[in-house]
């Protein structure tokens, strides 16, 4: 028997529609954020999912394309290139290993921050470049950003040599009346917009005052904004990704 | 190829230890079933296979998080697949025309379901409790589950206002859960 207090009628309704899949996109994103921080809710959701799971067993099978497993293996091994990436790695399972591909891009493991970076967060470490580019050490960083299913993954590639950031959604897009906007949040600073993430690679310049000494405290965040980005210059929508980058 | 007739718990526990052979075995056992689940919601084959890849990477990454107390491993796996499919379908602003598959067909399939799967995932009380629902409400719930229809699509299919659909779903699932509590 559950020892948790019963959910309110509103929450029970949300659980029902989340599990069935009928919440609108915005509602779904907001609800998933709650699941991260409300164990009672999460438990209830998992319980209902399990109860309905036998339904999935009665459907027809469809054999996947022959090369599919190889792609999965490749993604796990970190040999995929940005253009082929459709999936992400990361999380707090302790299986972190950054495998730097010598060529261009490596899959990097996200590590959830011990400090706790908010509802939907995959925390990475960011190395930022200031006016003086470091001569030694990693020159480029890649992260595949996952928000635990609330949004399609993003691939973020930071190149110190040119001071550019490439951001690309890995799967299909955001709701047609919304945009994802990328923010750089330096320590003790207000978020600075780095532009709207479209369905193509976005070359961004790191802010000129991005400072390597503030590595541990700087954060990239992505919020869900009205189409075209925030109208106010500050984040107005919910944070759907938040994290930092690990060097290759 | 066997699908969900086998308890995946032990295999999943091996996957949690980064056992690649176990992961391949899991894939061989489940990928066709999961692609079927995803395709009924996503419909586009290419996108569905993208989701399938994503699902297996999540399984690989998160296998250690599966706890048997939380439910069956088979349920865990299909839930990831279904959730990722719904994540994607909710992002599409224009749906393709939903297939005309009747929710009642799904119930019939479940009712005649194989016993072994039923044992593994406790389908018998689900079957019974779904049977207690009014046919139209049940069909609505099953359409949502199997096809990933939105409220608006359900409203169109059942010729009801969206708010009525919401009420149908809330009440039907609340009744289902209460029934399964006492008949589990």
Q: pLDDT value at position A33?
A: 86
- Is A196 found in the same domain as A83? yes
pLDDT, tens only, A14-25: 999 999 999 998
Does residue A153 carry a pLDDT above 80?
no
Pairing of strands A154-159, A192-197: unpaired
* A38: helix, strand or coil: coil
pLDDT tens sequence across A102-126: 111 222 222 222 222 222 222 222 2
- pLDDT tens digits for range A60-81: 899 999 999 998 988 787 533 2
Flag residues of chain B having pLDDT under 50. 1-3, 94
Largest separation between any pair of C-alpha atoms in chain B:
50
Here the tokens at position A74 are 């490749």
In terms of residue numbers, what domain contains A235? 68-243
pLDDT in tens, A205-235: 555 555 544 433 456 777 778 888 888 888 8
Q: The pTM is what?
A: 0.61
Best mutation target among B7, B48, B63, B87 (most A Cβ atoms within 10 Å) is B87
ipTM of the complex: 0.90
Within this chain, do residues A47 and A73 fall inside the same structural domain, yes or no? no
Which of A34-43, A61-70, A78-87, A151-160 is the least confident region?
A78-87
Integer Cα distance of A150 and A241 in angstroms = 9
Q: List C-alpha distances in Å: A122 to A89, A115, A116.
A: 10, 12, 9
- Same topology, domains B9-89 and B103-183? Answer is no
Q: Of all helices (H) and strands (E), which one includes residue B34? A: helix B20-42
Q: Assign domain B9-89 one CATH number from 3.50.50.60, 1.10.1740.10, 1.10.3720.10, 1.10.10.10.
A: 1.10.1740.10
Give the domain ranges of chain B.
9-89, 103-183
| Helix and strand totals (H; E) in chain A | 4, 8
* CA–CA separation, A23 and A38 (whole Å): 18
Q: B179 at the A interface (CB within 8 A)? A: no
B52 inside 8 A of chain A by CB: yes
State what percent of residues in chain A have pLDDT above 90. Answer: 18
Q: Answer yes or no: do A113 and A137 share one domain.
A: yes
Inter-chain CB proximity A20 and B144 less than 8 Å: yes
Q: What is the model's pLDDT at position A53?
A: 93
E strand or H helix that includes residue A164: strand A164-169
Rounded to whole angstroms, how far apart are CA atoms B95 and B156? 13
User: Residue B2: what pLDDT?
Assistant: 42
Strand order from edge to edge, sheet including A219-226: A192-197, A178-185, A219-226, A239-243
CB proximity A175 to B under 8 Å: yes
B116 touches chain A (CB under 8 A): no
Number of domains comprising chain A: 2
**Which of A52, A62, A87 is closest, CB to CB, to B32?**
A62
For residues A143 and A108, membership in a common domain is answered with: yes
User: What pLDDT was estimated at residue A117?
Assistant: 24
Helical (H) or strand (E) element with A71: helix A68-77
Select the residue of B51, B61, B121 nearest A90 (Cβ to Cβ).
Answer: B61
**Topology given in CATH for the domain delimited by B103-183:** Arc Repressor Mutant, subunit A (1.10.10)
């Amino acid at each position: 028997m559950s020892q948790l207090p019963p959910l309110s009628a509103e929450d029970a309704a949300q659980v029902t529609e989340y599990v069935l899949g009928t919440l609108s996109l915005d509602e779904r994103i907001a609800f998933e954020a709650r699941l991260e921080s409300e164990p009672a809710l999460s438990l209830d959701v998992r319980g209902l999912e399990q109860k309905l799971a036998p339904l999935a067993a009665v459907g027809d099978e469809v054999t996947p394309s022959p090369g599919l497993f190889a792609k999965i293996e490749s993604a796990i091994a970190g040999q995929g290139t940005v253009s082929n990436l459709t999936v992400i790695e990361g999380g707090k399972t302790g299986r972190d290993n950054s495998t730097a591909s010598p060529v261009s891009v490596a899959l990097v493991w996200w590590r959830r921050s011990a400090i706790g970076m908010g509802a939907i967060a995959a925390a990475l470490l960011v190395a930022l470049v200031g006016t003086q580019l470091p001569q030694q050490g990693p020159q480029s960083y890649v992260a595949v950003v996952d928000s635990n299913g609330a949004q399609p993954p993003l691939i973020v590639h930071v190149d110190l040599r040119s001071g550019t950031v490439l951001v690309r959604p890995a799967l299909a897009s955001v709701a047609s009346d919304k945009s994802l906007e990328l923010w750089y949040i330096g320590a003790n600073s207000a978020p600075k917009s780095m532009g709207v993430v479209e369905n193509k690679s976005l070359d961004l310049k790191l802010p000129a005052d991005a400072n390597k000494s503030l590595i541990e405290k700087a954060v990239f965040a992505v919020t869900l904004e009205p189409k075209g980005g925030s109208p106010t210059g500050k984040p107005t929508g919910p944070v759907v990704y938040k994290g930092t980058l690990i060097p290759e | 190829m066997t699908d969900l007739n086998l308890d995946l718990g032990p295999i999943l526990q091996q996957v949690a230890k980064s056992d690649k052979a176990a992961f391949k075995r899991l894939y061989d056992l489940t990928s066709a079933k999961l692609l079927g689940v995803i395709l009924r919601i996503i419909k586009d084959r290419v996108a569905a296979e993208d989701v399938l890849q994503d699902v297996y990477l999540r399984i690989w990454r998160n296998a250690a998080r599966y706890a048997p107390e939380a439910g069956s491993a088979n349920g865990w796996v299909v839930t990831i697949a279904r959730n990722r499919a719904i994540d994607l379908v909710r992002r599409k602003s224009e749906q393709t025309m939903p297939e005309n598959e009747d929710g009642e067909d799904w119930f019939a399939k479940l009712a005649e379901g194989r016993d072994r799967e039923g044992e593994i995932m406790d389908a018998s009380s689900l079957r019974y409790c779904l049977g207690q629902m009014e046919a139209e409400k049940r069909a609505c719930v099953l359409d949502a589950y199997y096809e990933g229809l939105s409220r608006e699509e359900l409203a169109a299919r059942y010729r009801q206002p969206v708010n009525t659909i919401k009420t149908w779903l809330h009440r039907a699932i609340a009744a289902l859960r209460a029934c399964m509590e006492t008949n589990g």
